[in-house]
Structure 1
Amino acid sequence: MFTVAVIGPDGAGKSTVTQQVLKQLDLPLKYIYMGVNLESSNLVLPTTRLILELKRLRGGRPDMTGPPDPTKQAAPMPKNPIKRLVKEVKTAFRIGNLMAEEWYRQFFVWYYHNKGIVVLSDRHFFCDYYAHDIAVDRSQLPLMRRLHGFLLGNLYPRPDLLITLDAPAEVLFARKGEGTIAMLESRRQEYFRLREAVPHFETVDASQPLEDVVDQVSEIIWLFYQTKTGRVVRN
């Protein structure tokens, strides 16, 4: 079968829409969360769960570190060689764990495909890191990010159908109040760049009422399913 990924900046309604589509479409569908938020993840490596529980106990957020905020400058490396080494080791460990998570979830995608099931992905690692670790000059990145970008760009399967939920940055910010308008606008532009990187790219206006967004996303998936399988189904 195939993978449908639903992406969009914070406030676009990705999780809500995908859950509603699961209920609405009469297709063999399986939901997999393909992002960095532990509390939203339905598949997590045991080691990751342990690491993030320790992080929670220390007062940190219970999730993996996601793509950098494009509107902020990266923190400078410490001048102290010991502190620099510690930071580099922590970064290498974090990205190594992220890559393990990415492939762990991808193995489940393959498993469901082999059973004739369509995977509905809430977010997608390839899409989230495309503008940061893949479609960039990787020679300027740290070694582990270069490796991460190479694996995602050359070996990691891309979604067969990518649906982007889009709305003006001001609308997105008003919904959740997270990040900044500048950051949300930057994310929007990053996702538009994916049009050149995936075989099928669709955009849905996420500023519409939820019911209309769900109907449009369902219709796109339904028509794509018919095209891929030749089967006539009803949604």
Structure 2
Amino acid sequence: MPAPVKRIYMGVNLEASGLMLPTTRLALAVKKARGRRSDMVAPGVTSPRATRNPARRAVRGGAQVLRLVLWLAEEWFRQLVAEYHRRRGAIVVFDRHFYADYYPFDPAADRRRSLTARVHGHLLQKAYPKPDLVICLDAPGSVLFDRKHEASAEWLEKRREQYLQLADVIPRFVVIDVDRPLAAVTRDVAAAITDFFEERRA
């Protein structure tokens, strides 16, 4: 690589990253203690069941606002860390990205969404910095399922299609076929990053 590389995880499985705010650690610890999954889901990804009870609606609304505040703080914290390393001359490689993960649910969603989901989507679309370069490691859903046996081939294919839609909104979007030997994939990824870096530096 033409410069030092800093990897930052930008996905919802926060246990995959040691980089998180103390408030997020506390929120996840509370979730885990209650027997729930120790991750965070952005507003709009899940659709809570409607209730006619005013008190329950108020509690649920307050919880959604709190979740939005915590989530936005986590998103911007990681972005600030990335900017710190970028200004020091590093190539920052995001493992996943909030905009990519939530684009089909928030900015591009064609269904009715809650107020917090609309706010989150608007901020992702208008305020949150997008990556300079996106490299989509592409393979059919069936191939991905055979490798890890997670979710289902159909679900993985749907997510693949959603990721490929980002080509319409990300100016520098490179698709690399990963249904090939690892050495070939690694070479193409390194070449895409190096070419972009040299172009920006010229």
1-structure distance, mates of 2:150, 2:56: 31
1:27–1:35 CA distance, 2 compared to 1 (3 A): same
2-structure distance, mates of 1:80, 1:176: 43
- Aligned partner of 1:202 in structure 2 is 174
Q: For residues 41-95 of structure 1, give each alpha carbon's deviation from its aligned partner in whole angstroms, at most 9, with x where no partner exists.
A: 23201100111112222222221125738xxxx4532343333333332222222
% identical aligned pairs? 43
Instruction: Choose from 173, 178, 189 the match for 2:145.
Output: 173
Secondary structure of 1:164's aligned partner: strand
1-structure distance, mates of 2:123, 2:107: 9
Instruction: Choose from 177, 184, 190 the match for 1:212.
Output: 184
Q: What amino acid is the match of 2:181?
A: P
- Aligned partner of 1:35 in structure 2 is 11
Would the aligned equivalents of 1:96 and 1:144 in 2 still touch at CA under 8 Å? no
Structure 2: where are the runs of 5+ without partners?
A: none
- Aligned partner of 2:41 in structure 1 is 65
Given the two structures, how large is their TM-score scaled by the length of structure 1?
0.78
1-structure distance, mates of 2:79, 2:163: 21
Q: Measure how far apart 1:211 and its partner are.
A: 2.7
Would the aligned equivalents of 1:32 and 1:42 in 2 still touch at CA under 8 Å? no
Moved more, 206-215 or 187-196: 206-215
Instruction: Choose from 175, 178, 183 the match for 2:155.
Output: 183
Q: What amino acid is the match of 1:84?
A: R
Given the two structures, how large is their TM-score scaled by the length of structure 2?
0.90
Aligned residues between the structures: 201
Secondary structure of 2:106's aligned partner: helix
- Aligned partner of 1:148 in structure 2 is 120
Would the aligned equivalents of 1:166 and 1:205 in 2 still touch at CA under 8 Å? yes
Secondary structure of 1:133's aligned partner: coil
Q: For residues 84-116 of structure 1, give each alpha carbon's deviation from its aligned partner in whole angstroms, at most 9, with x where no partner exists.
A: 333332222222211111111111122122212
| 4+ aligned runs moved over 4 Å, structure 1 | none
Q: Measure how far apart 1:26 and its partner are.
A: 5.1
Computed over aligned residues only, the root mean square deviation of the Cα atoms, in angstroms, reads 1.9
- Aligned partner of 1:129 in structure 2 is 102
1-structure distance, mates of 2:153, 2:59: 34
Q: RCO higher in 1 or 2 (8 Å CA, sep ≥ 6)? A: 1
1-structure distance, mates of 2:52, 2:142: 39
Q: For residues 154-204 of structure 1, give each alpha carbon's deviation from its aligned partner in whole angstroms, at most 9, with x where no partner exists.
A: 011110000001111111122222222222121111111111111200011
Q: For residues 123-158 of structure 1, give each alpha carbon's deviation from its aligned partner in whole angstroms, at most 9, with x where no partner exists.
A: 1111111111112358x3211111111111001111
Would the aligned equivalents of 2:106 and 2:118 in 1 still touch at CA under 8 Å? yes
Instruction: Choose from 99, 105, 130 the match for 1:158.
Output: 130
1-structure distance, mates of 2:184, 2:3: 19
